[in-house]
Copies of this chain bind each other. A is one copy, B any other.
Amino acid sequence: MPDSTPPDAFDPAPPDAPASPPLPSIRHGGDDAAAAAWPDAPRPLLDLSTGLNPRPYPVGTVAPDLWARLPQAGNQAELLAAARRYLGLARNARLATAPGSQMLIGQLPHLVPPGPMTILGPTYGEHAPAWARAGHRVETVTSLDAARATGATTLLITNPNNPCGRVFSPHALRALLNAADGPRLLVVDEAFADLDPTNSLAPHCDHPGIIVLRSFGKFFGLGGLRLGLMAAAPVWVEAMSQRLGPWSVSGPALAIAARAYADTAWITATRARLQQDARRLDTLLTRAGFRIVGGTALYRLVEHDDAAGWVDGLGRRGILVRRFDDQPQRLRVGLPGDEVQWLRFSTALKEAQPHGRSV
């Protein structure tokens, strides 16, 4: 990011409400610009605008050598072995590592010859511009049938989808690839697939028409560590690795993630806890008048006729949620991390009811 990055764009304030602050887009989690929109809000902010697990995998002590030396082949190999087991990776598939799945999202379109491609949406907003920048003609559709009808040879889906949580089974996706009029290349963003590994295509991605993108930071709650994986047939992985060059992932990230992917006790317990917490969040949100319309165990997608009012009401109380420019009645709400945060959020939900938001 350059130091010329402008502050995030703000939506214009409606002309009949000059006293209201403009609502920040909160396009991604933890946006400092969003925080600035409510300067009087109590600190620290409670950032529920992300899909990150708020109770991170314990980083522990980082050996000084991991910072000092170039990332070592041995550390890389340990990470890849642990990730391979964790993902149940197809035996003949390979893994490329990147400093975050965002980097993979940006680079992957350059590996595919430019042409018509389809995105199943609405979904994570970084995919479409990345493919367009690489010269592809991007069409967004809302169903697999519509995707087939476009005749595009490349289809991208997020599975489970962000934000709605829609899930396709490996069976359905393999059938799509096998269909005479199906796509030849299926890119699956599995950023939230850690929650339920049974729907992952990683065990199938020795198929040269399947590319799987994985994010380390979300389920393991370590978004600042920067690690993403691409699982695919060797030809794809070699091309991506060539593009990224050596040592793109830090030494500490390799070591921490290798330990995390191998920690089956933590993984099992965390999956169960996140499911519980998601149900608890649903209860709070439903009581406050929201309709639950989807999500995963790391975030819930809700609707409210006055969603913009809620964004402001919660923001004044130092709580950030995710809104969508193209779906103004919807919000995405992440999980509080500890009992203090749960209490703060439930209290804010009571205080910020639309009829009382002016207080």
Q: Tell me the A residues contacting B by CB distance below 8 Å.
A: 1-5, 28-33, 47, 50, 52, 54, 56, 59, 62, 64-74, 76-77, 80-81, 84, 94-97, 99-100, 102-103, 105-106, 126, 130, 133, 217, 221-226, 234, 237-238, 240-253, 256
**C-alpha spacing A243/B105, complex, angstroms:** 11
Which residues of B sit under 8 angstroms from A245, Cβ to Cβ? 102-103, 105-106, 126, 130
Which residues of B sit under 8 angstroms from A52, Cβ to Cβ? 68-70
Contact assessment for A4 and B69 in the assembled complex, using a CB-CB cutoff below 8 Å: no
Which residues of B sit under 8 angstroms from A66, Cβ to Cβ? 224
22 A/B residue pairs, CB under 8 Å, sorted by A: A1-B241, A3-B76, A3-B80, A5-B73, A5-B76, A29-B70, A31-B73, A32-B73, A56-B67, A59-B67, A67-B222, A67-B224, A69-B223, A70-B224, A71-B226, A103-B244, A223-B251, A226-B248, A226-B250, A250-B252, A250-B253, A252-B252
Q: What is the distance, in angstroms, from A104's C-beta to the closest C-beta of chain B?
A: 9
Per a CB cutoff under 8 Å, which of B28, B70, B256 touches A70? B28
**C-alpha spacing A68/B74, complex, angstroms:** 25
Each complex incorporates copies of this chain amounting to 2
Q: A102-B246, A106-B244 are in contact. List 5 more A-B contacts (CB 8 A).
A: A4-B237, A65-B224, A106-B245, A226-B249, A250-B253
Q: What is the distance, in angstroms, from A326's C-beta to the closest C-beta of chain B?
A: 20
**C-alpha spacing A349/B5, complex, angstroms:** 52
Q: What is the distance, in angstroms, from A120's C-beta to the closest C-beta of chain B?
A: 21
**C-alpha spacing A30/B52, complex, angstroms:** 34
**C-alpha spacing A246/B234, complex, angstroms:** 27
Contact assessment for A221 and B68 in the assembled complex, using a CB-CB cutoff below 8 Å: yes
Contact assessment for B237 and A100 in the assembled complex, using a CB-CB cutoff below 8 Å: no
**C-alpha spacing A155/B292, complex, angstroms:** 59
Which residues of B sit under 8 angstroms from A250, Cβ to Cβ? 99, 224-226, 250, 252-253
Contact assessment for A247 and B84 in the assembled complex, using a CB-CB cutoff below 8 Å: no
Which residues of B sit under 8 angstroms from A32, Cβ to Cβ? 72-74
Q: What is the distance, in angstroms, from A236's C-beta to the closest C-beta of chain B?
A: 10
